[in-house]
Amino acid sequence: MQISGLSMTIHGVPILRDVSFAVAPGEIFGLVGESGSGKSMTALAMMGLLPRGTQVSGRVGFEGVDLLTQGERAMCGLRGREIGMIFQEPMTALNPVQCIGDQVAETLVVHGAATRAAAQAAALERLVRVGLPPDRFAPDRYPHELSGGQRQRVCIAMAVALRPKLLIADEPTTALDVTTQAQILELLRDLVEDEGMSLMLITHDLAVVADMADHVAVMRKGQVVEAGRTETLFRTARHPYTRQLFRDSGHAPQRAARVQPAPVLEVRNVVRDYPLKRIAFWGNRPMFRAVDDVSLTIRSGESVGLVGESGCGKSTLTRAILGLDPVQGGTITLDGAEVHAGHLAGAVRARMQVVFQDPYGSFNPRHKVGRLVAEPFHLLPTPPDDRRARVAEALRAVGMEPGDQDKFIHEFSGGQRQRIAIARAIVIRPGLVILDEAVSALDVTIRAQVLDLLADLQGRFGLSYLFISHDLSVVRAITDRVLVMQAGRIVEEGRTEQVFNSPAHPYTQQLIAATPRIPEEWLAA
């Protein structure tokens, strides 16, 4: 695959400018860049699946043919047979009303490669190859019965069913947990080796590329700024943007922790049960124990990390601490006052605030920023008279302009929105801020800035943080202590450096081993 001088505009807006790179047979090629840099659009151009209103020029050479000049019929014959593709979101990438065996077999059937019966047999073999043996994952299962990692395996089976020469993987593991990510990457690497196909791996995660790719191209604003052999590129990093990316991805903010001995939050033996769906119309509802006997303490001025994979109970615990859900056992104490779901005194509630993951979904789009940030004031018995001034001060503290109060939230970027969310959290000067995956949706550069901001605010206002994340490197950068949660229980707890350097519990060891890392000697220069 040889891309040369690929340029693209959508309705006149330039998206790609003069993109050139080559993917050699049998190699893993990494395409890195931040969101909006044009990585996915490049991939879609290669597949001929561009949205309407797109103008492309340049050349996408595949085995001597320019794909940009091919008609739709020829491209349909090529997609799935010669070039396979998998996407970021395995939860929604499969048709929910068709069983997985049929969906894999369909690739063979549409290309006329097999009869329906033969396709079913081939699909079965492919499912086994991606690690879904029929005795545990019968091909008549539906996507909703599988986990995210298993669904991504089905997507891979579909994409490689006809043994294509090139597989394009667009952020294939971004939505997955670290251990699942490691397994999927391992599978992709095996497929490249065993079947001699090429893999184009699109990702924002430099560590994944460092771990996987033979060659790398770095994209920014629709252009390739630097390309080369992975190790060489990481060691030399000629382009300032590449250097900045490397710096930001491993960024650890300067923190002067002033931890007081007094606890802000004390969680004692908390149990949280969820009622499951009734099995029978009569009979008791079965219960699921999402949080099982969890205890933790956060002292004033301290940053505590809570790590674990999705479904381990992190978010359930957060909701319980915030008093959103009742607990079935144990106590939660905030500044000496007990937290009870449903009747939580405003004054107690005002002592803790939260910042969520999604900077797009966590604001009411119809309210202006001033009103959004001022919202926590309703917790106070008498709202302050100088609301505007205090909102302005909070906005200034997070690096925004006081004049931003009169704008709507859609006028801001993801990083700016997350700053506004932090402003909303600190405007009533809480003691504790819960950061629930607060930087997970941000690009590395923005993430580094937000982490600096959080460290700065902690120093200035003496805040305590409960930092919840699946991203171990971020937790390592910003916390004093860390708790590791697995299946509703805290399995390990200790000082951050100690836990990361010598993890005691096998689960923690497994998590740390699965986290991809850029070899340190590569970055030394």
Partner 1 sequence: MLRFVLSRLISLGLSLVVASLVIFTVIEVIPGDPAAFMLGLNAAPDTVAALREELGLSGSYLSRYLAWAFGMLTGDFGTSYTYRVPVADLVGARLWVSLPLTIYALILSTLIAVPVGVLAAARRGGPADFGIMGATQMGIAIPNFWFAMLLVLIFAVKLRWFGAGGFPGWDRGIWVSLKALTLPAVALALPQASILARVMRSSLIETLGQDYMRTARAKGLTQRQAVLGHALRNALIPVMTIIGLQFSFLLAGAIIIENVFFLPGLGRLIFQGITQRDLIVVESVVMLLVFAVILVTFLVDLAYAVIDPRLRRAT
Binding site for partner 1 (CB under 8 A): 47, 49, 72-73, 76-81, 84-87, 89, 92-99, 106-107, 110-111, 142, 144, 155, 158-159, 277-281
CA distance 442 to 417: 10
Handedness of CA 212, 216, 218, 219 (dihedral sign): negative
Distance of closest approach, residue 10 Cβ to partner 1, in angstroms: 16
Helix or strand (DSSP H, E) at 491: strand 489-495
Contacts 24+ apart (CB under 8 A), 124-127: 126/157, 126/160, 126/161, 127/100, 127/101, 127/153, 127/154, 127/157
In whole angstroms, the minimum distance from the beta carbon of 360 to partner 1 comes to: 17
142 or 274: CB nearest partner 1: 142
Tell the smallest beta-carbon distance from residue 129 to partner 1 (Å).
17
Q: Residues in the chain, how many? A: 525
| Nearer to partner 1 (CB atom), residue 115 or residue 232 | 115
Cα–Cα distance for residue pair 40/44, rounded to 1 Å: 6
Judged by beta carbon, residue 106 or residue 404, the one nearer partner 1 is: 106
Query: Do 16 and 45 contact (CB within 8 A), yes or no?
Result: yes
Give least dist CB 109 to partner 1, A. 10
Q: Which of 50/491 has CB closer to partner 1?
A: 50
**Contact, 423 vs 394, CB < 8 A?**
yes
Closest CB 103 distance from partner 1, rounded Å:
8
Three-state secondary structure of 231-274: HHHHHHCCCHHHHHHHHHHCCCCCCCCCCCCCEEEEEEEEEEEE
> Quick check: 84 and 159 in contact, CB under 8 A?
yes
Q: What are phi and psi of 361, to 5 degrees?
A: -90, -10
C-alpha span between 395 and 419 (Å, rounded): 8
Least separation, in Å, of the C-beta of 67 and partner 1? 14
Rounded least distance, CB 49 to partner 1, Å = 6
Q: Which is nearer to partner 1, 81 or 470 (CB)?
A: 81
| Between 39 and 255, CB nearer to partner 1 | 39
Cβ at position 90, least distance to partner 1 in Å: 9
In the complex with partner 1, the residue whose CB is nearer, 197 or 448, is: 197
End-to-end CA distance of the chain: 32
Residue 85 or 474 having the CB closest to partner 1: 85
Residue with tokens 């924002």: 204
